[in-house]
């Protein structure tokens, strides 16, 4: 079986407040792949195509549903469940523009909690022409440029921000090892009820759930780094109440126990865009 090669690129300066990064994944083999993806809490714009010009992804499954007939270009929400992406048995390239957690509001003007689960096809977010353009250009650089231009245009037309929620997201990421909702409430002088309402509206999930997802991703990054020899040290570094709490959260968002992930380290990938394994 071939391996999946990843390349992570920074966003252009115009999009730096709304785009986390661009991740390109390339596969050169001719065997079908099942890639398990851990939720990151970030929405994203994805263009994926096999060597024959058809969509590379055959289906996407979570614990609660399976979706087939995946279009070449789609927009997905934040997601709070691990998923399995099944790819067709041929070489492919995917371009994932990883959006900031608030970007459905700042780029598209949408409240994240009002969007349906799963993904939107190109005609549902005014991108049918973009999909045709992406299919017609031959190079990776041209495709990334088209995706950036589309998002820049959306940003200029939308021009909406909830700065309190954006700052609270930065606050969470800077203090992920020891953050609570009460800390956010105290730091931003807002009632817990108002924070819950605004956070869910802009990010698409309650702040408690978002914190759990970010903390698990931090743990996965620690595992991938090789800096920690013992799982208990990772749990301690991230201030989990105990190791059983750590194990429960890891299973909830990655399908596997921490020990099982450590045993699969050669098949595991973690970067700014999130974590996945074969």
Share of the chain above pLDDT 90, in %: 73
pLDDT at position 224, please? 78
* Max Cα–Cα distance, the chain, nearest Å: 55
Angle between the N-to-C axes of helices 207-225 and 243-254, in degrees from 0 to 180, rounded to the nearest 10 = 100
Residue in the structure block whose two tokens are 């099942």 = 34
Query: pTM here?
Result: 0.94
Q: Please say if the pLDDT value at position 2 is more than 70.
A: no
Domains of the chain: 4-158 (2.60.120.10), 163-267 (1.10.10.60)
Based on C-alpha coordinates, what's the Rg of the chain? 19
pLDDT band at 1 (very low <50, low <70, confident <90, very high): very low
Neighbours of 145 (CB within 10 A): 13
Which region among 20-34, 51-65, 204-218, 261-275 has the lowest average model confidence (pLDDT)? 261-275
Interval 128-173: pLDDT, tens: 999 999 999 999 999 999 999 999 999 999 989 999 999 999 999 9
pLDDT at position 264, please? 66
Q: In what order do the strands lie in the sheet with 44-50?
A: 4-9, 19-27, 92-99, 44-50, 73-76, 119-121
pLDDT at position 232, please? 87
Interval 260-271: pLDDT, tens: 877 766 677 888
Q: Which of 22, 70, 76, 20 is nearest to 50 (CA)?
A: 70
**What is the DSSP-derived secondary structure letter of residue 124?**
G
CB 120 within 8 A of CB 90: no
Which region among 91-95, 126-130, 139-143, 229-233 has the lowest average model confidence (pLDDT)? 229-233
pLDDT at position 176, please? 94
pLDDT at position 121, please? 95
Alpha helices by DSSP H, listed for 37-188, are: 103-108, 128-136, 140-158, 163-174, 181-188
- Tokens linked to 237: 């570094």
Q: Which of 223, 267, 269 is nearest to 8 (CA)?
A: 269
Name 86's bridge partners.
34, 59
């Amino acid at each position: 079986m071939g391996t999946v090669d990843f390349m992570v690129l920074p966003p252009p300066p115009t999009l730096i407040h709304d785009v986390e990064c661009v991740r390109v994944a390339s596969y050169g083999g001719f065997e079908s792949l099942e890639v398990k993806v851990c939720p990151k809490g970030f929405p994203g714009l994805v263009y994926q195509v096999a060597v024959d010009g058809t969509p590379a992804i055959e289906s996407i499954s979570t614990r609660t549903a399976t979706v087939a007939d995946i279009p070449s270009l789609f927009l997905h929400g934040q997601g709070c469940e691990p998923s399995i992406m099944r790819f067709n048995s041929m070489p492919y390239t995917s371009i994932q523009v990883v959006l900031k957690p608030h970007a459905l509001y700042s780029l598209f003007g949408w409240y994240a909690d009002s969007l349906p689960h799963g993904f939107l096809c190109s005609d549902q977010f005014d991108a049918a022409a973009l999909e045709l353009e992406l299919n017609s250009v031959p190079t990776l650089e041209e495709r990334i440029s088209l995706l950036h231009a589309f998002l820049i245009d959306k940003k200029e037309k939308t021009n909406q921000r909830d700065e309190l929620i954006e700052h609270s997201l930065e606050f969470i990421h800077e203090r992920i090892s020891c953050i609570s909702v009460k800390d956010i409430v105290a730091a931003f002088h807002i009632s817990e009820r108002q924070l819950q309402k605004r956070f869910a509206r802009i990010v698409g999930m309650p702040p408690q759930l978002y914190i759990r997802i970010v903390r698990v991703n931090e743990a996965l990054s620690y595992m991938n780094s090789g800096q920690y020899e013992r799982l208990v040290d990772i749990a301690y570094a991230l201030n989990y109440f105990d190791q059983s709490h750590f194990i429960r959260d890891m299973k909830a968002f990655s399908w596997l126990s921490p020990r099982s992930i450590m045993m699969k380290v050669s098949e595991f990938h973690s970067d700014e865009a999130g974590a996945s394994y074969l």
